[in-house]
């Protein structure tokens, strides 16, 4: 990889800042001052900027406990984004794996591994997602049956795939779905005459939201979590 690309990938420095630092002699490769932005870097080379080692950025995988009020987008003119909660370099490389609405809380996965993102979100793999749902009205005794059979949502041509509803209280339940249509859970409850007042994602596939993460906190995924997909 080119020297300027390597530094750009691993830090928040812009291309022009990197070029300027190279011109100033602030960048070194294996303790030798680097002179050319296009110089090739090998995997065992040690690159420093102002004597600080630049750690090569591997592929990253994070779980975040999303609070309300944050949007799952890389940029938004109006609201803070989930990326604002991460203290990481080069956040623009990160992809949000399956989005949540602004008022939904809980598990959000982020990665710069596009293939992994695709594996989690691909409809063909049917990766299950578990949500804790709180509703405005008591959940009707027939709702679990209706969800397990599939419902035709407003504006859709095909019914929803079978989903499993497990009642927790009169107004709350765990709902497992195997797809991710726009506002799916809110629309499913609307279709049976109820309304979602709070929605929290607890699990994606085998990856469970870490109970130690407070709203707004995040951590790297473990190797088994990454491999579970």
Q: Within 10 Å of residue 25's Cβ, how many Cβ atoms?
A: 10
Given the residues 101, 103, 145, 210, the one annotated as active site = 101
- Beta-strand ranges (E) seen in 113-171 are 129-135, 164-169
Nearest-approach distance from CB 205 to ligand URA, in angstroms: 15
103 part of the active site: no
Token pair listed for 140: 């009707």
By beta-carbon proximity to ligand URA, the closer residue of 86 and 190 is: 190
Query: What are the residues binding ligand URA (CB under 6 A)?
Result: 100-101, 104, 183-186, 199
By beta-carbon proximity to ligand URA, the closer residue of 167 and 198 is: 198
Nearest-approach distance from CB 186 to ligand URA, in angstroms: 4
- Beta-strand ranges (E) seen in the chain are 27-29, 32-33, 47-49, 52-53, 61-66, 95-97, 105-111, 129-135, 164-169, 172-177, 196-204, 207-208, 218-220
By beta-carbon proximity to ligand URA, the closer residue of 83 and 196 is: 196
Nearest-approach distance from CB 129 to ligand URA, in angstroms: 8
Catalytic residue positions, numbered = 101
């Amino acid at each position: 990889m080119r020297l300027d690309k390597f530094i750009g990938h691993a830090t928040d420095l812009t291309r022009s800042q990197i070029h300027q630092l190279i011109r100033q002699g602030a960048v070194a490769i294996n303790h030798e001052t680097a002179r050319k932005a296009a110089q090739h870097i090998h995997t065992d080379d040690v690159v420093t900027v102002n004597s600080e080692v630049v750690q090569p950025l591997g592929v990253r995988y994070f779980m975040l406990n999303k609070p309300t009020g944050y949007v799952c987008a890389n940029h938004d003119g109006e609201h803070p984004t989930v990326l604002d909660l991460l203290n990481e370099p080069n956040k623009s490389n990160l992809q949000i794996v399956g989005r949540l609405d602004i008022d939904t809380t809980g598990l959000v996965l982020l990665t710069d591994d596009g293939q992994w993102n695709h594996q989690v979100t691909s409809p063909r793999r049917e990766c299950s997602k578990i949500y804790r749902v709180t509703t405005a009205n008591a959940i009707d005794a027939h709702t679990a049956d209706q969800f397990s059979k599939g419902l035709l949502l407003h504006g859709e041509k095909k019914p929803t795939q079978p989903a499993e509803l497990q009642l927790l209280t009169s107004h709350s339940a765990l709902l497992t779905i195997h797809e991710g249509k726009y506002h799916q859970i809110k629309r499913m409850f609307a279709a049976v005459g109820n309304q979602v007042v709070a929605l929290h994602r607890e699990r994606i596939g085998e990856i469970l939201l870490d109970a130690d993460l407070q709203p707004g906190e995040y951590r790297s995924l473990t190797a088994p979590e990454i491999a579970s997909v």
